[in-house]
Amino acid sequence: MRAQDETSTSPLRVERLSLTASLALAGGGKAPFAALGYGTPHGVAWMPTVNAHVLSSDGAMADVWHAGGARIRSGTTGIARWRTDGHWLLGAIDLDETAEKQGLAELAHRAYRDLFKALEQAGTPHLQRIWNYLPQINADGGGLERYRQFNLGRQEAFLEAGRAAFEGAPAACALGIHQGALSIRFLAGQQAPLPVENPRQVSAYRYPETYGPRSPTFSRAALADIGDGSVALFISGTASIVGHETVHHGDVREQTRETLRNLQAVIAAANERCSATFSLAGLDCVVYVRHPSDTGTVRAIIEQALGADAPMSRHAVYLEADICRSDLLVEIEAHAVAAGQLRA
């Protein structure tokens, strides 16, 4: 391999592990590149966590990301902390609103401004995927729902930074947590991923104004070349929305079924854009359930649809969270890796 190739490739990999198994990776004092914890302890620098109750019986879990670069650097940019191997970056922002004078729109704006600065500073300019967790997402924040305030500040920051706020926006999810900090996690790299939309849904960045003065900033999914002949599929938070409207109000069973149809549709659209073949059954997903008492019902429908032995059924992490529309009861986000290449 030529020296140039060595510096230009750094395969990215991900594995979903129990808390114990993921912490064991850090034995010998060498932490992995980075991880996203679900119900994991606070204060593990390489494993930012989500302040949400884990509803699945396996307890705390983590998606551990491995990056191929030889040297891992960590840093902070304003309120953003990050780790990079020089090719990939995983960052986190945790902003305690109670200590701030600003409203959520301003805080989201500030958080994303620092996020973009961090990407520039670390030399990994392209966002691959974002995870947003907002305390009290559906609560009113002075005449405007907090999620809608968040959308205001987020879109403004994208526009100000000259980043794609419509076509080409990164894949993302935005969930509500009961308490804690405004938490944003982000994965970035050196090449722009390929955005994917869902033909059953209006693009979220084109939602009509009835959903708020500024539209949400995300694509339905994104495909990324992650090296060594593999493609990653990042699927944004997906819910029971057809067109731009919530369907199956108050019916968690049908909302789950509609969500699975939406996931199927976005996977089919993604498969058109690459030579890899992704399937619903093979996703590593996080299932966000508004009412913990619905967990058994949601799980039963997923297992009915895919079989209890499907990797998606076995690896799913269930978290208690509010969804960004108060009429949504369930949302699923996911990632998967498969052999193949992006189509030009």
Strand partners, 231: 225, 338
Residues annotated catalytic, as ranges: 331
Asked whether position 174 contacts ligand 3EB by CB under 6 A, the answer is: yes
Query: Which span (27-35, 95-103, 160-168, 171-179) binds ligand 3EB, by CB under 6 A?
Result: 171-179
User: Of the candidates 218, 234, 278, 288, which one interacts with ligand 3EB according to CB under 6 A?
Assistant: 218
Can you tell me the distance from the alpha carbon of 251 to that of 234, in angstroms, rounded to the nearest whole number?
27
Can you tell me the distance from the alpha carbon of 181 to that of 51, in angstroms, rounded to the nearest whole number?
8
Can you tell me the distance from the alpha carbon of 305 to that of 285, in angstroms, rounded to the nearest whole number?
15
Strand partners, 126: 189
Residue indicated by tokens 């084109």 = 206
Question: Which residue, 206 or 291, has its beta carbon nearer to ligand 3EB?
Answer: 206
Asked whether position 285 contacts ligand 3EB by CB under 6 A, the answer is: no
Asked whether position 183 contacts ligand 3EB by CB under 6 A, the answer is: no
| Structural element, H or E, at residue 335 | strand 330-339
* Residues in binding contact with ligand 3EB, number by CB under 6 A: 12
Asked whether position 172 contacts ligand 3EB by CB under 6 A, the answer is: yes
Question: Which residue, 312 or 334, has its beta carbon nearer to ligand 3EB?
Answer: 334
User: Of the candidates 173, 221, 312, 321, which one interacts with ligand 3EB according to CB under 6 A?
Assistant: 173
Which residues within the stretch 45-84 sit at the binding site for ligand 3EB (CB under 6 A)? none
Can you tell me the distance from the alpha carbon of 89 to that of 94, in angstroms, rounded to the nearest whole number?
17
Q: What number of other Cβ atoms are within 10 A of residue 339's Cβ?
A: 11
Asked whether position 212 contacts ligand 3EB by CB under 6 A, the answer is: no
Asked whether position 240 contacts ligand 3EB by CB under 6 A, the answer is: no
Which whole-number Å values give the CA distances from 245 to 165, 210, 256, in the listed order? 21, 11, 15
User: Of the candidates 132, 203, 256, 295, which one interacts with ligand 3EB according to CB under 6 A?
Assistant: 132
User: Of the candidates 47, 165, 310, 324, which one interacts with ligand 3EB according to CB under 6 A?
Assistant: 324
Q: What number of other Cβ atoms are within 10 A of residue 261's Cβ?
A: 17
Per CB under 6 A, residues contacting ligand 3EB are 132, 172-174, 204, 216, 218, 236-237, 239, 241, 324
